[in-house]
Chains A and B, each alone.
Chain A
Amino acid sequence: MDWGALQTILGGVNKHSTSIGKIWLTVLFIFRIMILVVAAERVWGDEQQDFVCNTLQPGCKNVCYDHFFPISHIRLWALQLIFVSTPALLVAMHVAYRRHEKKRQFRKGDQKCEYKDIEEIRAQRFHIEGSLWWTYTGSIFFRLVFEAVFMYAFYFMYDGFRMPRLMKCSAWPCPNTVDCFVSRPTEKTVFTIFMIAVSSICIMLNVAELCYLLVKFFLKRSRKVGNPKHHPNHETKEETKQNEMNELISDSCQNTVTGFSS
């Protein structure tokens, strides 16, 4: 049970996302989860052992470490990734509920049901319209909120995104102001800035996706008002190709991450 399980859950949502949503998912897997697991965790691995204070007073190091790092960067990122990925579950649950309803209709022998067998229902890709549109847009909104909240919490807790080499600590039982040295400050700063940059890219992708959905919704509405005929909704050849490519990427990512994660 590790990040691979989250990936399996999110991989299922991939089919029903927009193109921007698929790009967001890829960025999340490769540039955030994978970087966290294979690199960032090693950099922060020895953080308290190698946090050194210029004093022999027992307990001073513990207290100073706790004072400067109420919650470790790496744990904050892990929580951020979990919270940011969760709204996609709402979409997965909605799709599962729709599939369940269609299966029930099929089993009842409903004539309105246009599927030939249960496998077709299972493999069907739902278009983002109707109530699914609201669920999907809501999930993007919550993603944005969580990203923003965590970035702000990060900035607030650590007074910016730089990791200083030296911190001065005067918490009890340190005898007076004591110099404490952080391990690998430059490497940690580099990774912090990297993770913040990728978070910002994800925020921009989410904003773009939200705008795209809203524009599409209003265009459709105005088209409906102008032209009462319905156009049949089906996947174009390009969409199918794109879907297959994205599934290939997410499958290969899944294999790489499950291989790397311990």
Chain B
Amino acid sequence: MSWGFLRDLLSGVNKYSTGIGRIWIAIVFIFRLLVYVVAAENVWKYEHDEFECNTKQPGCENVCFDHFFPVSQIRLWALQLIIVSTPSLLVVFHVAYRENREKRHNQKLYRSAGQIDGGLLCTYLISLILKTGFEIVFLVLFYKLYNGFKVPRLVKCDMSPCPNAVDCYISKPTEKMIFLYFLVATSGVCIVLNVSELSYLIFKYSVKCYTKTFSKKQQ
């Protein structure tokens, strides 16, 4: 069980997405998931071992690390990736439900099980709203938890059992900051894509609905 599962899930969703949806999937795969696995994970690999405090007091380093990093940035990144990809499951479930229904009634109920219309359109729109919501929630969480996206070189810690205010040094702060900004940038791009896909679908189907009612009225 690893990232391959998420990759397979998203590949399955690809079939039922719009063009913008496919670009979103490509960005999540390449600029978020792949960058996480091949580069970002290694930057945070020894973060606790390399976190150093200017004291010999046993336990002080542990306590300070825990105080400044309640949840490691890399774990938050991984959680964000998983939770942001999950709303796409709703679409997959709905399509499976449609296909199941067609099989049970043994007749063609829909023009195509995977085509985005009617109930599936609602599900798709809800999944887009949820995706955007989760992205924003995680970005805000990141910002609040770490006081911005900057990683300082030095943090001052005075938690017990540290004797007094002690200097603690974070390892690779610049590299971590670069990758955090990269994460924020790709999240931003994904939010923009989701919002444009949402607007596009709403616009397209309202026009369709309007022309249908207009042509009915004319008849």
Q: A: which residues have CB within 8 A of B? A: 1-3, 5-6, 9, 48-49, 57-59, 61-63, 65-66, 69-72, 74-75, 78-79, 82, 86, 89, 93, 97, 173
Contact = CB atoms under 8 A, between A and B. Distances in A.
Given A6-B34, A173-B167, A59 B173 contact: no
21 contacts: A1-B7, A2-B37, A3-B38, A5-B34, A57-B54, A58-B54, A58-B55, A58-B169, A59-B154, A63-B154, A65-B171, A65-B172, A69-B175, A71-B174, A75-B175, A75-B179, A78-B38, A82-B30, A93-B22, A173-B167, A173-B169
Given A65-B171, A78-B35, A82-B35, 12 more contacts: A1-B33, A5-B34, A9-B30, A48-B46, A48-B171, A57-B54, A62-B171, A63-B153, A63-B169, A69-B172, A71-B174, A71-B178
Interface in B147-174: 153-154, 167-174
Interface of B: 2-4, 6-7, 19, 22-23, 26, 29-31, 33-35, 37-39, 42-43, 46, 49-50, 52-55, 153-154, 167-175, 178-179
A181 to B, nearest CB: 17
Contacts of A65: 171-172
Contacts of B178: 70-71
A59 B50 CA distance: 9
Nearest to A75: B39
A173 B54 contact: yes
A1 B82 CA distance: 14
A86 B178 CA distance: 20
B175 A59 contact: no
B175 A72 contact: yes
Q: Is the interface of A mostly helix, strand, loop or mixed?
A: helix
B30 A86 contact: yes
Contact of B31 (A48, A61, A82): A82
Contacts of B179: 75
A78 B30 contact: no
A3 B30 CA distance: 10
A71 B43 CA distance: 9
Contacts of B55: 58
Nearest to B56: A58
A23 to B, nearest CB: 23
A9 B30 CA distance: 10
A71 B34 contact: no
A260 to B, nearest CB: 13
B38 A89 contact: no
Given A66-B173, A72-B175, A2 B46 contact: no
A72 B37 CA distance: 15
Contacts of B43: 72, 75
Contacts of B53: 58-59
Contacts of B3: 1
Nearest to A57: B54
B39 A66 contact: no
A82 B35 CA distance: 8
B171 to A, nearest CB: 5
A86 B171 CA distance: 31
Nearest to B171: A62
B46 to A, nearest CB: 7
A48 B30 contact: no
A127 B22 CA distance: 24
Nearest to A171: B153
A97 B19 CA distance: 9
Given A58-B52, A82-B30, A66 B171 contact: yes
Contacts of A173: 54, 154, 167, 169
Contacts of B49: 49
- For the complex of A and B, the 10 pairs showing the least CB-CB separation, nearest first, are A1-B3, A59-B169, A70-B174, A62-B169, A58-B54, A78-B39, A75-B39, A78-B38, A71-B175, A1-B7
